[in-house]
Chains A and B, each alone.
Chain A
Amino acid sequence: MDSSRISIRPFRLSDANDFFSWAKDDRLTQYLRWNTITSREEALKYLKDVAIPHPWRRSICLDDHSIGYISIRPESGDDQHRAHVGYGVGVEYWGQGIVTMALKMAISSVFKEFSYLVRLEALVEEENKGSQRVLEKAGFQKEGFLRKYGFNKGEIRDMYIYSFLSTDKIV
């Protein structure tokens, strides 16, 4: 994939159709905390109520069309030096290095924007090998295996924890 075609930017209401086309896919949302979007109305509402007001959520774009998202959420209070990273991209775009590219863009951008940020962390389910590869290619370090860490879509799941520090080098 030609990296000049990939960009990250804030979501717009006009992304609703593109957003709906990937957010309605269970194969994408199965590992995410949010539920599959089931209608265009819901897609528009989600953009308006969640994606756009979010402190740091970006659309991953191919030729300026939304094909996925990256979200960075700092912890609150004393832990705000730590932020959680989440991402997803339409199934037809998997395996082309797109999320890795977008993640690298996001990393350099977010450490500049939030100067107090020290640590980005990501939690990935054991069977989600694709997502583990994305993080490793972007330079995240795998730190450990957390047993029965979190509840998602009806089950308590084991997860790998990865991190990227403000002092780490973007590969």
Chain B
Amino acid sequence: KSINFQPYIFEPVFVKQKQMEHKEVDDEFSDITLRLFDLSDIDDFMEWATDDQVSRFCSWETYTSKEAATNHIVDVVIPHPWYRAICLKDRAIGAISVTPNEGNDICRAELGYVLGSKYWGKGIVSRAVQMVASTVFIEWPHLERLEALVDVNNPGSQRVLEKAGFQREGVLRKYFLQKGKSRDAVIFSLLSTDPKVNSFM
């Protein structure tokens, strides 16, 4: 059964946006790698999983116990078909996943990502998304479409996708029902045939 994990980051709009866009990625934050999760990442996982700022646009409730977080890693993260830790100097600071559809719809998969709030605004998720975009179509030759759904009120996350070359296709009204409130979602897609943004600079 495919897991519907839709985490998004939120970059506060009032932070010097224009400066962020033109600024080069800090050397300190350019050593980004993706790898599989391990139970030993649990404490690092808890850093963002317990943060209300992070869960704000996500479908999950902020975690309050290490046990619940451990269960999530064991039951969802480790068996997932494509789930990676976003690492800075090999420490997990977030996660990125590609969730395929079933049956004939395996031509389509959904991208999701989450990042610890103290790492926001440094182009880290952009880099991670670009890394995924340039490898997932090779790893999964049957994949034709990678899509992402972002809350309309999350412009930072929308920019991440635009920078990675995703195309904005429309707004799906009341697509999400999260924490009792319905939210509109912007749908983006990247096709296997679309040009990929090269993040390895």
- List residues of A whose CB falls within 8 A of some B CB: 77-79, 81-82, 118-119, 121, 141, 143-152, 156, 161, 163, 165
Contacts and interface: CB of A to CB of B under 8 A. Distances in A.
Nearest to A141: B173
A143 B105 contact: no
Interface stretch (B8-16, B84-92, B151-159, B163-171): B163-171
Contacts of A145: 169-170
B173 A156 contact: no
A156 B108 CA distance: 10
A165 B173 contact: yes
B144 A148 contact: yes
Contacts of B187: 144, 146, 161
Given A118-B174, A148-B191, 12 more contacts: A78-B4, A82-B177, A119-B173, A119-B174, A141-B173, A147-B169, A147-B189, A148-B145, A149-B145, A150-B104, A151-B105, A161-B172
B189 A146 contact: yes
Contacts of B140: none
A119 B59 CA distance: 17
A147 B173 CA distance: 19
Given A147-B191, A161-B170, A156 B175 contact: no
Contacts of A77: 4
A156 B107 contact: yes
A150 B177 contact: no
B17 interface: no
Interface in B131-185: 144-145, 147, 167, 169-175, 177, 182
A143 B172 contact: yes
Contacts of B182: 81, 118-119
Contacts of A163: 172-174
Interface of B is mostly: strand
Contacts of B144: 148, 156
* Interface class of chain A by DSSP: strand
B133 to A, nearest CB: 15
Contacts of A147: 145, 167, 169, 189, 191
Contact of A150 (B4, B108, B171, B172): B108
B175 A119 contact: yes
A145 B105 CA distance: 17
A17 to B, nearest CB: 30
B175 to A, nearest CB: 7
A150 to B, nearest CB: 6
